[in-house]
């Protein structure tokens, strides 16, 4: 089973690009972040015409996540538990009913900038909620993939120019520690399982020629439970997608798992 994660940075603005990539890459499951539309404005029919079942958790102009699957989706959860007052659409989870089912979540973790504001506190609190929920999901002892834009640079090697990010919420000690704590629950980073080389980035800013100078960072991840990691086969970071027409500032990450019955 091919599971992709991609921050598409407005699905309607980049629909031809997204569709072209899907037709080329043919993932069985796709987790989108930053769809930037309410559920009613999501271009569902375009994806259904490619054979996907579609679930969304949208928000006007900001955030928003979607799950596309060639298999039926069940046990759908919209929103991360732990804060009933949180109105930001950043979490969508479902069971993909393939030959061997797998629970998949599309995650768009808060950016947290600027530092010293409630936005950074919200980021860390959201990380805490994700940690608590992941701990509960791991108790099921089932294949699980937590996929998305985590808005964290885990290590210096995950940035072309680490010094440029020292004042950014993505590279703060607290953010990095929260990410390590999540992994330490027993989740494996597909990037590490696949032994991808240093310099495998997933995001390049639109500004200051970051793409042309390869000033990238790695902030998009597919974290796997032990039951999914045992079935890991490969990972691909689709860098070429950044050269497509009207690209997102992120590129897709695709993980292959052996989930045959």
Neighbour tally for 121: CB within 10 Å: 13
Q: Under a CB-based contact definition with an 8 Å cutoff, are residues 64 and 73 in contact? A: no
Please tell me the distance from the alpha carbon of residue 259 to that of residue 261, in angstroms, as a whole number.
6
Q: What is the pLDDT along the chain (261 residues), one digit of tens a residue?
A: 999 999 999 999 999 999 999 999 999 999 999 999 999 999 999 999 999 999 999 999 999 999 999 999 999 999 999 999 999 999 999 999 999 999 999 999 999 999 999 999 999 999 999 999 999 999 999 999 999 999 999 999 999 999 999 999 999 999 999 999 999 999 999 999 999 999 999 999 999 899 999 999 999 999 999 999 999 999 999 999 999 999 999 999 999 999 986
Q: Is 108 a catalytic residue?
A: yes
Q: Is 149 a catalytic residue?
A: yes
* Catalytic-labelled residue, pool 28, 52, 91, 149: 149
The two three-digit tokens of residue 98, written as one number:
């393939």
Relative to beta strand 2-7, strand 253-257 is antiparallel
Please tell me the distance from the alpha carbon of residue 107 to that of residue 130, in angstroms, as a whole number.
9
Neighbour tally for 122: CB within 10 Å: 16
* Catalytic-labelled residue, pool 108, 150, 201, 256: 108
Please tell me the distance from the alpha carbon of residue 182 to that of residue 195, in angstroms, as a whole number.
20
What domains lie within the chain, and their CATH numbers?
2-257 (3.60.10.10)
The two three-digit tokens of residue 115, written as one number:
């530092």
Q: Under a CB-based contact definition with an 8 Å cutoff, are residues 11 and 32 in contact? A: yes
pTM score, two decimals?
A: 0.98
pLDDT, tens digit (0-9, with 9 covering 90-100), for 207-241: 989 999 999 999 999 999 999 999 999 999 999 99
Please tell me the distance from the alpha carbon of residue 96 to that of residue 255, in angstroms, as a whole number.
15
The two three-digit tokens of residue 211, written as one number:
């793409």
Please calculate the CA angle 206-219-95 and round it to the nearest 5 degrees: 120
Identify the pLDDT of residue 192.
97
The two three-digit tokens of residue 230, written as one number:
């045992």
Quick one: which of 256, 237, 191 has its CA closest to 2?
256
């Amino acid at each position: 089973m091919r599971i992709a994660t991609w921050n598409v940075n407005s699905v309607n603005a980049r629909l031809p690009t997204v569709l072209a990539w899907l037709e080329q890459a043919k993932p069985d499951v796709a987790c989108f972040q930053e769809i930037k539309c309410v559920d009613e404005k999501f271009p569902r029919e375009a994806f259904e015409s490619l054979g996907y079942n579609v679930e969304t958790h949208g928000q006007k102009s900001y955030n928003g996540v979607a799950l596309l699957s060639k298999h039926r989706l069940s046990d759908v959860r919209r929103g991360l538990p732990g804060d009933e007052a949180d109105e930001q659409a950043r979490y969508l989870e479902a069971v993909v009913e393939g030959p061997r089912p797998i629970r998949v979540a599309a995650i768009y973790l808060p950016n947290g900038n600027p530092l010293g504001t409630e936005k950074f506190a919200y980021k860390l609190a959201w990380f805490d909620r994700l940690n608590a929920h992941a701990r509960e999901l791991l108790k099921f002892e089932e294949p699980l993939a937590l996929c998305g834009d985590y808005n964290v640079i885990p290590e210096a090697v995950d940035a072309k120019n680490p010094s440029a990010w020292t004042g950014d919420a993505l590279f703060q000690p607290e953010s990095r520690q929260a990410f390590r704590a999540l992994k330490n629950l027993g989740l494996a980073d597909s990037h590490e399982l696949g032994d991808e080389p240093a310099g495998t980035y997933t995001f390049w800013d639109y500004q200051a020629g970051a793409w042309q100078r390869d000033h990238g960072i790695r902030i998009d991840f597919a974290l796997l439970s032990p039951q999914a990691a045992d079935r890991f086969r490969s990972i691909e970071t689709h860098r070429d997608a950044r050269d497509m027409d009207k690209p997102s500032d992120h590129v897709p990450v695709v993980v292959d798992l052996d989930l045959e019955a």
